[in-house]
Chains A and B, each alone.
Chain A
Amino acid sequence: MSSASPTPTTGTAGGTRRRRRGPRTWLAALPLLGFTGLCFGLPLGALLFGAVTRTDPDTGATALTGEHLSRSLQGPYLGSLVGSVQLSTLTALLATILGVFFAQAVATSRSRALRDAVLTASGVLANFGGVPLAFAFIATLGISGVVTQLADLTDLGWNLYSFGGLTVVYLYFLVPLMVLVILPAIDGLRPQWREAAENAGAGGWQYWRHVGIPVLAPSLLGGFVLLFGSAFAAHATAAALVGGSVPLVTLKIADALSGNVLVGQENVALALGLDMILIAGLVMAVYLPLQRRSARWLR
């Protein structure tokens, strides 16, 4: 089981074990730590520095300021953060649920061919994003898209260029990702457990309530966090589809950092980046203790 669940648990466990063995093995990790420090530390440091300082264009002097951060938490910037969190939470929740059902169906079907097909397709689709995905949706479900025209979807209130439309597009790559993540965990549910539960007089729901879901909980949580992060950081698809009409923080950062309209907004973009890191950190902070707890049930 633990091999199927995402890394944090195994990482912590491995870390403790290693520490007991003494400092010499720790040395072997130095290149990795150095690499991590350089490749993650430097950009993070630059981001942090830019987010809390301001350079006066006349004198060239740099001073500390909280202005960028406070601006990033106001008005349309705050709106974009809220919009991103809403969209990511909703899509991650939906994709987690749908992904579990699909994975369960594949796991219980016992058809090798189906399993291979689903896994291959999931591997491809989970990485299908960006502008090509947006354009594929425009061509099928856009206003003059093939399916929209055939089924008169517009009359039914369908609009691809909205919060709802974006949710559907995100699910297109999030559900396959969840199937990939959760399938090994579902495979780990032993049929004997179910038989034992049934012998003890449990119904299907009782089995899931007291055995299945608790055993899957760490993987489910891990999957949700992964999907949340994936949706939270997505940019190109949304940019091509909805422009500014669904406020998202990644779009706002792009506007401020690399546009043809707004001048001198780079530091606010960095502050927004910092906000994103904080939100991701918050999600992890909720996830880690929960995961540790549910991992304890498994021992």
Chain B
Amino acid sequence: MHRTSGRRAAVLLGAAVLSTVTACGAAPDDAAGPAGGGAKSATATSAADFGGMDALVEAAQKEGALHVIALPPDWANYGELIKAFETKYKIKVESENPDASSADEIAAVKSRKGQKRAPDVLDLGIAFARSGAAEGLFAPYRVEVWDKIPAAQKDEAGRWYNDYGGYVSIGCDARRIAHCPQTFADLLKPEYKGKVALNGNPTKSGSAFAGVYAAALANQGSFADIQPGIDFFGKLKQSGNFIPVESTPATVEKGETPISIDWDYLNAGYADQFKDKGVDWKVAVPTDGVYAQYYSQAVNKEAPHPAAARLWMEFLYSPEGQNLWLKGYARPVLLPAMTADGTVDKTFTAKLPQVPGTPSFPASAELDKAKATLAEKWDKAVS
């Protein structure tokens, strides 16, 4: 999908590529190589290809390092995940450019083909996972718990699968705001003049984009129609409620963005972070615009540490890894399965903001259309 011309062409092309991919999705299974052997690491599609988990661990430890990119330590508890992986397997995690974006990750994969500095694994926004798979950048690999990942959350060929996510939420500094807003409709009230912010520009930031999408759902929009969300922020801007400054931990602490629309796990994280600093940060998932999104994991096809990359995936999808995300208030993709089999850590689930029902996700084409509409209309609505 990369470098195509018009958005429409991109949508059509992407859809075409995706459908062919699904058609021959079973292929990598049959192509599985013989067990064991360092050279085979790069083509292994499951732990069984190594000859079981122990052999995988051994192969990974022989490589000794894992190169990751774009994993901010204060995002969904990644800091602790990395540390836990290092201590458990004695493999050094080289973390580069933690604040990079999905586009930067894809660029790093392409520009460092065959280099030792190439990222081994990727944490991507869903659109980038899809386009990267279509371009053949990822190695198919199925973690041991593959079957428990819901079908809608994974690429049938195993080139990417969702890992953790959350809901769009409204964070609010209860010391500065008398009545914290609970819904998108609330945000229009005059008492919130000059107080409502997004986590960045929605044409660039994934969580800000999700905020607009959720606002669309709250205002008679749909996955196919994001326009009401754009209009909603236009209205917020006109009433003076919306401030375009990008909400960050710094602006939250300072009180410049007393109401911030962001992922619930980031807002919940702020609440912990600022408890001692005089900020009483409350988190509400707006009932009128429930929107959830997950990020995806993928293994670089030309990973310099292919076995370590695969071990990292196994670790992330193990109960230990999934619970660590949960500790960071993110909802791991295996949460339903782990709730059923009892491996989930209940102290963490109890702390999650309660959301009724199960989330649904936009189709690839709907997502592309929403983004195209947003890129076209956002500037005019808020300037």
Where the two chains meet, the residues of A that have a C-beta atom closer than 8 Å to any C-beta of B are 54-58, 65, 67-68, 71, 75-76, 79-80, 135, 138-139, 142-145, 154, 161, 239-247, 251, 254-255, 257-264, 266-267
When chains A and B are docked, how far (Å) is the Cα of A55 from the Cα of B13? 13
When chains A and B are docked, how far (Å) is the Cα of A139 from the Cα of B250? 10
Residues of B within 8 A of A76 (CB): 375-376, 378-380
Where the two chains meet, the residues of B that have a C-beta atom closer than 8 Å to any C-beta of A are 1-6, 10, 13, 17, 100-104, 107, 125, 127-128, 131, 134-135, 176, 194-195, 198, 200-206, 209, 237, 243-246, 250-251, 254-256, 258, 368, 371, 374-376, 378-380, 382-383
When chains A and B are docked, how far (Å) is the Cα of A54 from the Cα of B101? 23
**In the complex the two chains form, is B255's CB within 8 Å of A144's CB?**
yes
Residues of B within 8 A of A139 (CB): 254, 256
A-B contact pairs, 30 of them (CB 8 A): A54-B5, A57-B1, A57-B17, A57-B134, A76-B375, A79-B379, A80-B379, A144-B176, A144-B258, A145-B256, A161-B245, A239-B246, A240-B245, A241-B245, A243-B201, A244-B201, A244-B203, A244-B379, A245-B382, A255-B375, A258-B100, A258-B107, A259-B203, A261-B125, A263-B1, A263-B131, A264-B2, A264-B3, A264-B131, A267-B3
**In the complex the two chains form, is B3's CB within 8 Å of A244's CB?**
no
**In the complex the two chains form, is B256's CB within 8 Å of A144's CB?**
yes
**In the complex the two chains form, is A243's CB within 8 Å of B244's CB?**
yes
When chains A and B are docked, how far (Å) is the Cα of A75 from the Cα of B377? 9
From the candidates B107, B209, B244, name the one contacting A261 in the complex (CB within 8 A). Answer: B209
Interface-central residue, B103, B128, B134, B251, by most chain A CB under 10 Å:
B103
When chains A and B are docked, how far (Å) is the Cα of A244 from the Cα of B199? 12
From the candidates A246, A254, A260, name the one contacting B206 in the complex (CB within 8 A). Answer: A260
Residues of B within 8 A of A154 (CB): 194
When chains A and B are docked, how far (Å) is the Cα of A154 from the Cα of B382? 19
When chains A and B are docked, how far (Å) is the Cα of A41 from the Cα of B380? 36
When chains A and B are docked, how far (Å) is the Cα of A57 from the Cα of B202? 27
In the complex, what residue of chain A is closest to B378 when comparing beta carbons? A244
**In the complex the two chains form, is A138's CB within 8 Å of B251's CB?**
yes
Nearest chain A CB to B338's CB is how many angstroms away? Answer: 27
When chains A and B are docked, how far (Å) is the Cα of A142 from the Cα of B45? 53
When chains A and B are docked, how far (Å) is the Cα of A71 from the Cα of B104? 23
Residues of B within 8 A of A241 (CB): 244-245
When chains A and B are docked, how far (Å) is the Cα of A254 from the Cα of B251? 22
When chains A and B are docked, how far (Å) is the Cα of A261 from the Cα of B203? 6
When chains A and B are docked, how far (Å) is the Cα of A257 from the Cα of B3? 11
From the candidates B3, B206, B254, B382, name the one contacting A57 in the complex (CB within 8 A). Answer: B3
**In the complex the two chains form, is B203's CB within 8 Å of A262's CB?**
yes
When chains A and B are docked, how far (Å) is the Cα of A40 from the Cα of B379? 32
In the complex, what residue of chain A is closest to B374 when comparing beta carbons? A261
In the complex, what residue of chain A is closest to B10 when comparing beta carbons? A264
**In the complex the two chains form, is B128's CB within 8 Å of A244's CB?**
no
Residues of B within 8 A of A55 (CB): 2-3
Residues of A within 8 A of B127 (CB): 261, 263
Residues of A within 8 A of B379 (CB): 76, 79-80, 244-245, 247
Nearest chain B CB to A166's CB is how many angstroms away? Answer: 11
